[in-house]
């Protein structure tokens, strides 16, 4: 709060008469302004449509019959003292009311040291163009990690007091992850989520992290071109990719530390469809205990000039507000494929994305996936855009065995009842997705015939499948040739 007070004092010293504060946390705004008027010895008045204009500062009487915005603003304009007037949600009355706009403009343009300052407060506030140029926008600082940790501990103490002294169960690693995942929220929202975590069962565990991230996403109102992926896989659900797993484990501590210097940026995954790229993207978030956001390039594009780039900028800003997080850009080539038929939209989108990738400071780990390398713009492939480019090939025999075991276990089928080595040999050239579909097909066949799933049904399902590696053998061979000397093998 100290920094907020100092910055607000500088704004007032500049004699700006109209200040805009966007915040959901009205109580914290009032706390900050109350501290300010105590230091400066001036009056503080607060207006809302429900309560009218009230004096919360030093001296002065309650202002009667001031619920009507016009009368309240006239009282502000007539005040000969340098007080603060805080109006909640006034912007909704300004949209089509020329008189109110004129009154606000008169207050904002008033000269001299002994003039009141009008402060407009709402969760989102857009001013009419007539008064926009006279306004100074101010944002309350978000809580630091130390403040968030203290806040969580306060809620733990409160829970303990009403539960006969029982202590909240947690561990230091989980507590630190919770604190990091609360970053970007206001004090009030962070306290609300911390309280809900604890009150549920008196414990803060790893199982609480997905629900915490989902609740944070909903509080920040990030729906649109960004989607929240609640089902994040663990690397136990990903067969193979040993080099990728080791590479990620070496960078986890550096990323979670959140320091701006040498912060891991992300990775690009190239490979055939169904090879496990999307599952790997989900697994990064699951392994690191971070929220996973998916950027939908299809929803970015808008027919109006400039709207597509604005949509992307807003999406990237939203990702920063959710940080630390993993930002998954699936099939990125479909959104960035350049051409002459889109009036340069794809080029501007690419420029916006590259600028953000180069300049961002927030801990947002980008995982981009692509199937067709020739559609990717060369600017994206330059070193420094991503920390590494991995090639995800079709799984080797040993990895296919692991994939069969994973998908049999998911369907409550004991892997020891099957010859997974023979299944792996019979599925040469199959992707992980195609192996999963073979298991599902065998399960359907068994249900239709009212028999248990056995080896022969799995082999039958494999024999009926023509894998993508056969259908698109030329494209896959070309991709392997390109990746041989340009990428790191994820296997």
CATH number of the domain enclosing 61: 3.40.50.300
State whether 383 and 350 are in the same domain.
yes
State whether 371 and 463 are in the same domain.
no
Average per-residue pLDDT in the chain?
84
Which one, of 98, 117, 119, 161, lies nearest residue 20 by Cα?
Answer: 119
State whether 198 and 74 are in the same domain.
no
State whether 421 and 452 are in the same domain.
yes
Beta-strand relationship, 226-229 and 52-55: unpaired
State whether 349 and 412 are in the same domain.
no
Q: Which of the listed residues 376, 392, 408 is the one where a domain comes to its end?
A: 392
Give the residue carrying structure tokens 């359907």: 444
Q: How many domains does the chain have?
A: 4
State whether 21 and 127 are in the same domain.
yes
Give the DSSP letter string of 81-150: S--EEEEESTHHHHTT-HHHHHHHHHHHH--SSS--EEEEEESS----HHHHTT-EEE-PPPPPHHHHHH
In a domain, 227, yes or no: no
Q: Which of the listed residues 363, 392, 421 is the one where a domain comes to its end?
A: 392
State whether 259 and 273 are in the same domain.
yes
Dihedral angle, C-alpha 192, 197, 200, 206, nearest 10 ° = 170
Range of the domain at 415: 397-471
Beta-strand relationship, 117-122 and 388-392: unpaired
Q: What is the pLDDT of residue 223?
A: 55
State whether 255 and 388 are in the same domain.
yes
State whether 439 and 372 are in the same domain.
no
> What's the CA gap between 270 and 292, in Å, rounded?
19
In a domain, 489, yes or no: no
State the average pLDDT over residues 245-270: 84
Pair of tokens at residue 216: 């944070």
- Of 26-30, 73-77, 145-149, 232-236, which range is least confident? 232-236
Q: Which of the listed residues 120, 138, 156 is the one where a domain comes to its end?
A: 138
State whether 417 and 276 are in the same domain.
no
Task: Give how far Cα 425 sits from Cα of 36, 289, 454, Å.
Answer: 74, 35, 17
pLDDT digits over 40-97, tens only?
Answer: 888 899 999 888 888 875 444 456 678 899 999 999 999 888 889 999 999 888 888 8
What is the DSSP-derived secondary structure letter of residue 42? -
State whether 212 and 249 are in the same domain.
no
State whether 159 and 245 are in the same domain.
no
In a domain, 361, yes or no: yes
Beta-strand relationship, 364-370 and 325-329: parallel
Q: Centre a 10 Å sphere on the Cβ of residue 341 and count the other Cβ atoms it contains.
A: 6
Q: What is the pLDDT of residue 72?
A: 92
């Amino acid at each position: 709060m100290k920094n907020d007070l100092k910055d607000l004092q500088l704004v007032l010293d500049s004699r700006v008469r109209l200040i805009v504060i966007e915040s959901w946390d009205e109580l914290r705004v009032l706390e900050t302004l109350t501290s300010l008027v105590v230091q400066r010895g001036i009056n503080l008045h607060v207006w809302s449509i429900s309560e009218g204009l009230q004096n919360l500062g030093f001296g002065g009487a309650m202002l009667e019959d001031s619920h009507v915005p016009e009368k309240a603003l006239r009282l502000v304009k007539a005040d000969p003292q340098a007080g603060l007037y805080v109006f909640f949600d006034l912007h909704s009355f300004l949209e089509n009311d020329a008189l109110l706009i004129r009154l606000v403009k008169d207050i904002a343009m008033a000269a001299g040291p002994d003039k009141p300052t009008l402060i407009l407060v709402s969760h989102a506030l857009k001013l009419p163009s007539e008064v926009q140029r006279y306004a100074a926008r101010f944002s309350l600082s978000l809580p630091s990690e130390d403040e968030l940790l203290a806040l969580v501990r306060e809620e733990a103490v409160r829970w303990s007091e009403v539960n006969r002294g029982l202590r909240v169960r947690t561990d230091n690693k989980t507590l630190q992850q919770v604190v990091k995942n609360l970053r970007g929220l206001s004090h009030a929202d962070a306290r609300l989520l911390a309280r809900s975590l604890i009150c549920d069962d008196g414990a803060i565990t790893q199982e609480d992290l997905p629900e915490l991230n989902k609740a944070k996403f909903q509080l920040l109102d990030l729906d649109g071109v960004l989607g929240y992926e609640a089902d994040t896989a663990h690397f136990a659900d990903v067969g193979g990719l040993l080099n990728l797993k080791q590479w990620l484990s070496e960078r986890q501590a550096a990323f979670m530390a959140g320091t701006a210097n040498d912060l891991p940026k992300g990775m690009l995954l190239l490979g055939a469809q169904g090879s496990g790229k999307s599952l790997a993207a989900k697994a990064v978030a699951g392994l690191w205990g971070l929220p996973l956001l998916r950027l939908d390039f299809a929803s970015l594009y808008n027919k109006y000039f400039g709207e597509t780039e604005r949509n992307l900028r807003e999406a990237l800003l939203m990702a920063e507000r959710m940080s630390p997080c993993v930002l998954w850009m699936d099939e990125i080539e479909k959104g960035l494929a350049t051409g002459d038929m889109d009036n340069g939209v794809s080029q501007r989108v690419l420029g916006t994305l590259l600028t953000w990738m180069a300049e961002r400071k927030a801990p947002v780990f980008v995982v981009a996936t692509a199937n067709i390398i020739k559609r990717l713009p060369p600017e994206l492939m330059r070193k420094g855009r991503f920390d590494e480019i991995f090639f995800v090939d079709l799984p080797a025999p040993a990895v296919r065995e692991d994939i069969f075991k994973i998908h049999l276990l998911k369907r409550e089928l004991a892997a020891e009842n099957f010859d997974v080595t023979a299944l792996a040999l019979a599925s040469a050239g199959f992707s992980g997705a195609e192996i999963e579909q073979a298991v599902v097909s065998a399960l359907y066949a068994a249900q239709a015939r009212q028999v248990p799933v056995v080896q022969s049904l799995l082999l039958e399902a494999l024999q009926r499948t023509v894998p993508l590696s056969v259908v698109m053998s030329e494209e896959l061979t070309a991709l392997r040739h390109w990746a041989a000397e340009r990428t790191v093998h994820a296997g």
